[in-house]
Chains A and B, each alone.
Chain A
Amino acid sequence: MKKYSKLLSLLLAGALVVGSFAGCGGSDSSSDSSASKADSSSESGAADGEVFKIGGIGPTTGAAAIYGQAVKNAMELAVKEINEAGGINGYQIEMNYQDDEHDAEKSVNAYNTLKDWGMQALLGTVTSTPCIAVSTEAANDNMFLLTPSGSAVDCVAPENAFRVCFSDPNQGMASAQYIGENGLAEKVAVIYDSSDVYSSGIYEKFAEEAGNQPFEVVSAEAFTADNNKDFSTQLQKAKDAGADLVFLPIYYTEAALILGQADKMGYDTKFFGCDGLDGILTVENFDTALAEGVMLLTPFAADAEDEATQNFVSTYKENYGDIPNQFAADAYDGMYAIKAAFEDQDITPDMEASDICEAAKAGMTEITIQGLTGGEDGISWSADGEPNKSPKAVVIADGAYTAM
């Protein structure tokens, strides 16, 4: 009996082992089948109700929230318009926008969340530092990426990445040329954020180009993110050097402080900035008289009189309650650039993200869109991801941006 029981237990154990393997196989195959079922259901959906899944990433909280929120709003607006007009190649767009708090790590997490959601192309990210991280990730996945406003050179270093805005060096160069050609100043001081890739990128090219221009850079002072409250020293140096124009390739939060402190110390000079100054008028409780006469180089002025801008500004205001800034305009143009590139290459939602990327890359270099930020000649793209468009300068007059 003992012998049998041994045999029996052996058999039972064997059965258990086999059973457990079978269990594994069973669960595997069932998950396979559910996956393939999901695939097939999405494929069958292609005929009716298949959508393009386009992701967006940007800071909707944190210090740069004003940019991410503007991009989100404008993207929503563009998606709604495109869907109402029949979508891209007849397919509707579904968008999903994730917050990255202007933090590279959180941005990569947001990218992964969007990938899990089934994203096929990314309109983002909004700010430069996170964008560099995400564009590297996106290059590994061969995911099409179009950043509305990531202006650092490396944002579009991979082949799959394009941008709507000007690059930092481009802004630095254009600013120097603008100041020189229009004879705005003879002595220029620069205050820039050496801890920020955007600001130092513009500054470096500006300083380089200044050599070819009929003005002199008399002082170039830096600050860092940890030391961005007191600018009295930088301003004092600019004043002592006799600068008649201060170039501020920085964001508006610090610029608002600089304008206030210059006013307090009785330093009356011209200020010239780049697109980072855009938004200064929306700072709550900010005395806009301080910003009177500040010039900035930006591709978009909300008071431009062309019909497209007027329509965009009024719909935006209706939906979100404030006047769109340049970031909103870039995002709006970005969405239409995706549409144009997708239509150029007859891209459909049932294609793999990687195939979409290959096609969209080719499409981007073919298209020219008018857009809000295109100026007279529109925007076209070169294969390295950079846009070709002409810069515009605006001046703040009576508390509003006015074209110069």
Chain B
Amino acid sequence: MSFISYLINGISLGSVYAIIALGYTMVYGIAKMLNFAHGDVIMIGGYVVFLASSSMGMSPLLAVLLSVVVCTVLGVTIERIAYKPLREAPSLAVLITAIGVSYLLQNVALLLFGANPKSFTSVIPVPALTLANGALTITGETIVTIISGIVIMICLTTFIKKTKAGQAMLAVSEDKGAAQLMGINVNGTIALTFAIGSALAAIAGVLLCSSYPTLNPYTGSMPGIKAFVAAVFGGIGSIPGAMIGGILLGIIEILSKAYISSQLSDAIVFSVLIIVLLVKPTGIMGKKINEKV
């Protein structure tokens, strides 16, 4: 019985990683850049919901919508100011800029909101599910996180496959130059990618803070890194891969805490990552792209 309850805990932690990883993998898949500031956009999203619902008394749904809007604007602004001028620069320069943006957001949050942790009230009204006479509980947050993860995954896949804008994204991800020659607005497409990625960050922020209800300026950074690992694990760029990678990572983390060592769980998680990448360098669901000569 305790194994099942560990498994449920693992899925619930993993679903949070998965939802963050979706944003990572989306931006990487299209713009081919690692947006390390993603975790910090999540933190900002969390603060917006916190302030809107607890200080301004907005209803949770309205607060979440506001947070989505704020994060989208923030994401597009970051892209315009920090990443767009570096479009032709080597990818290392963009990577360093992303790390810089991440620190900038953390420190701005530190200035605006202070360092004291805030306790986040869950905005998810779904009651917990109890099974087997109360021996197992699945929290409402977990249920909502998994469902939203799956819904987002399906929506994103359909969007990319079926819409014009989605096809444009696919084209940009394959070859920016050729896409431009075909009349695709590359900058606009990348901006749209960031808008979607940041809106996902806002949703991830709400779900992260509802599941683990403390909020401080560093809230997003470690889950962000773990989610990045999950995205690589699942095959970066692949949307279903992010979902699977996230949930597997959560399960591995919890099970190694439970049965091996609570201290070494991170070490074990990263060792598994190394082994997976040694065997399958593109990750679980990653596509192998053949270089044409």
Interface residues of A (CB under 8 A from B): 59, 61-66, 194, 221-224, 226-227, 229-230, 232-234, 236-237, 240, 253, 256-257, 260, 264-266, 282-287
A221 to B54, CA, bound (A): 34
**CB contact between B266 and one of A227, A253, A257, A286 (< 8 Å): that residue:** A227
A65-B121 in contact (CB<8A) = no
Task: Pick out which of these stretches binds chain A: B72-80, B161-169, B254-262, B283-291.
Answer: B254-262
Contact A257-B213, Cβ < 8 Å, known A66-B116, A222-B263, A224-B266: yes
B216-A253 in contact (CB<8A) = yes
Interface residues of B (CB under 8 A from A): 2, 5-6, 9, 12-13, 50, 54, 110, 114-121, 128, 134, 137, 139, 212-214, 216, 218, 222-223, 253-254, 257-258, 262-263, 265-266
A224-B263 in contact (CB<8A) = yes
Chain A residue contacts of B2, Cβ below 8 A:
236, 240
B212-A285 in contact (CB<8A) = no
**CB contact between B9 and one of A227, A232, A257, A266 (< 8 Å): that residue:** A232
A236 to B4, CA, bound (A): 11
Sample (21) of A-B pairs whose CB atoms are under 8 Å apart: A62-B115, A64-B115, A65-B114, A224-B263, A226-B266, A227-B253, A229-B222, A229-B223, A232-B9, A232-B13, A232-B254, A233-B262, A236-B6, A253-B214, A264-B128, A264-B137, A265-B137, A282-B116, A283-B116, A284-B119, A285-B119
User: Smallest CB–CB gap between A95 and chain B, Å?
Assistant: 22
B119-A287 in contact (CB<8A) = yes
A256-B265 in contact (CB<8A) = no
A44 to B116, CA, bound (A): 45
**CB contact between B258 and one of A64, A236, A284, A286 (< 8 Å): that residue:** A236
User: Smallest CB–CB gap between B53 and chain A, Å?
Assistant: 10
**CB contact between A63 and one of B13, B115, B121 (< 8 Å): that residue:** B115
A266-B137 in contact (CB<8A) = yes
A224 to B266, CA, bound (A): 9
User: Smallest CB–CB gap between B253 and chain A, Å?
Assistant: 8
B263-A283 in contact (CB<8A) = no
A223 to B256, CA, bound (A): 12
Number of A-B residue pairs, CB cutoff 8 Å, is 93
Known A230-B9, A253-B117, A283-B117; 18 more pairs at CB < 8 Å: A63-B115, A63-B117, A221-B257, A221-B262, A222-B262, A223-B263, A227-B265, A230-B253, A233-B6, A233-B262, A234-B257, A234-B262, A236-B6, A253-B214, A256-B214, A260-B213, A283-B214, A285-B54
Chain B residue contacts of A265, Cβ below 8 A:
137
Chain A residue contacts of B118, Cβ below 8 A:
283-285
B258-A237 in contact (CB<8A) = yes
A257-B212 in contact (CB<8A) = yes
B116-A284 in contact (CB<8A) = yes
Chain B residue contacts of A260, Cβ below 8 A:
213
User: Smallest CB–CB gap between A150 and chain B, Å?
Assistant: 19
A229 to B14, CA, bound (A): 12
User: Smallest CB–CB gap between B133 and chain A, Å?
Assistant: 12
A233 to B11, CA, bound (A): 12
Residue in chain A with minimal CB distance to B258: A233
Chain A residue contacts of B9, Cβ below 8 A:
230, 232-233, 236
Residue in chain B with minimal CB distance to A228: B222
**CB contact between B119 and one of A65, A222, A266, A283 (< 8 Å): that residue:** A283
A287 to B262, CA, bound (A): 28
Chain B residue contacts of A62, Cβ below 8 A:
110, 115
**CB contact between A233 and one of B110, B116, B222, B254 (< 8 Å): that residue:** B254
Chain A residue contacts of B119, Cβ below 8 A:
256, 283-287
B212-A229 in contact (CB<8A) = yes
**CB contact between B117 and one of A224, A232, A256 (< 8 Å): that residue:** A256
User: Smallest CB–CB gap between A302 and chain B, Å?
Assistant: 18
Chain A residue contacts of B265, Cβ below 8 A:
227
Chain A residue contacts of B266, Cβ below 8 A:
224, 226-227
Chain B residue contacts of A65, Cβ below 8 A:
114-116
Chain A residue contacts of B50, Cβ below 8 A:
285
Chain B residue contacts of A226, Cβ below 8 A:
222, 266
A226 to B226, CA, bound (A): 10
Residue in chain B with minimal CB distance to A279: B116
A61-B115 in contact (CB<8A) = yes
A285-B139 in contact (CB<8A) = no
Chain B residue contacts of A233, Cβ below 8 A:
6, 9, 254, 257-258, 262
User: Smallest CB–CB gap between A208 and chain B, Å?
Assistant: 19
Chain B residue contacts of A59, Cβ below 8 A:
115
Chain B residue contacts of A221, Cβ below 8 A:
257, 262
User: Smallest CB–CB gap between B178 and chain A, Å?
Assistant: 42
A226 to B223, CA, bound (A): 9
**CB contact between B214 and one of A222, A232, A257 (< 8 Å): that residue:** A257
B121-A285 in contact (CB<8A) = yes
Chain A residue contacts of B13, Cβ below 8 A:
230, 232
**Interface-central residue, A61, A66, A222, A227, by most chain B CB under 10 Å:** A227
User: Smallest CB–CB gap between B125 and chain A, Å?
Assistant: 15
A66 to B253, CA, bound (A): 31
Chain B residue contacts of A232, Cβ below 8 A:
9, 12-13, 254
Chain A residue contacts of B110, Cβ below 8 A:
61-62
User: Smallest CB–CB gap between B175 and chain A, Å?
Assistant: 38
Instruction: Give the 3 A-B CB pairs with smallest separation, nearest first.
Output: A65-B115, A286-B119, A232-B9
User: Smallest CB–CB gap between A176 and chain B, Å?
Assistant: 21
Chain B residue contacts of A227, Cβ below 8 A:
222, 253, 265-266
Chain A residue contacts of B115, Cβ below 8 A:
59, 61-66
